[in-house]
Amino acid sequence: MIVPDDVFRDRSVLHGEQVRLEPLGPAVLEDYLLALDDPEVRRLTGSHAEHDRTAVARWLATRHEHHDRADWAVVRSEDGAFLGEAVLNDLDPDNASCNFRILLAGPHQGRGYGTEAVRLAVGDAFARGLHRVSLTVFAFNARARRVYEKCGFVVEGRCRDVLWWDGRWHDEFVMAVLAGELR
């Protein structure tokens, strides 16, 4: 292994100018459910599943037990409002890589919070010794792609017809950033 399989074990709050990342937990249940159930967020993340309140509560309550991933609450610095989540998951310790995903609730999009949250979370992965962080983004999600490119992610490929939504197929891009490339 290049990095330990519990590489995300010790986590403190990550502070940016507009947002901070805190370990995700049950305190944000109501706002988290609202974000997940937002129809536009569901489309942009390709979420077909209905969210069961009990299952989501259990999910939030158990995040701290998992040290091979980092689930962050994205919180606005000025007032502590819950904005969304940022996640480093699918750790591959033998190759020092992981996946990234993020979602912000509808009212909090387009204000620069996402860009800062990506930089904080992915920067934390590299600070822990990871070499590569990858993600997928649907081809119709131009805003997310722009944010990832601003942060240094590059498109590595296009997967065809991965999502069936609104009666048609949609492609997605695979993107990744390597250690030293984060902007």
Ligand X SMILES: CC(C)(COP(=O)(O)OP(=O)(O)OC[C@H]1O[C@@H](n2cnc3c(N)ncnc32)[C@H](O)[C@@H]1OP(=O)(O)O)[C@@H](O)C(=O)NCCC(=O)NCCS
Q: Which is nearer to ligand X, 168 or 183 (CB)?
A: 183
Residue 70: strand, helix, or coil: strand
Q: Residue with the closest Cβ to ligand X?
A: 114
Helices (H) and strands (E) in the chain, counts: 5, 8
103 binds ligand X per the rule CB under 6 A = yes
Phi, psi of 36 (to 5 degrees): -65, -35
The site map against ligand X for 41-80 (x = CB under 6 A) is x--xx-----------------------------------
112 binds ligand X per the rule CB under 6 A = yes
Q: Are 114 and 122 in contact (CB under 8 A)?
A: no
For residues 39 and 19, give the distance between their C-alpha atoms in angstroms, rounded to a whole number.
24
Judged by CB under 6 A, which of 130, 144, 176, 177 binds ligand X? 144
Least separation, in Å, of the C-beta of 54 and ligand X? 24
Residue closest to 126 by CA, chosen among 105, 153, 146: 153
Give the residues lining the site for ligand X (CB under 6 A). Answer: 41, 44-45, 84, 102-104, 109-115, 137, 141-144, 146-147, 150
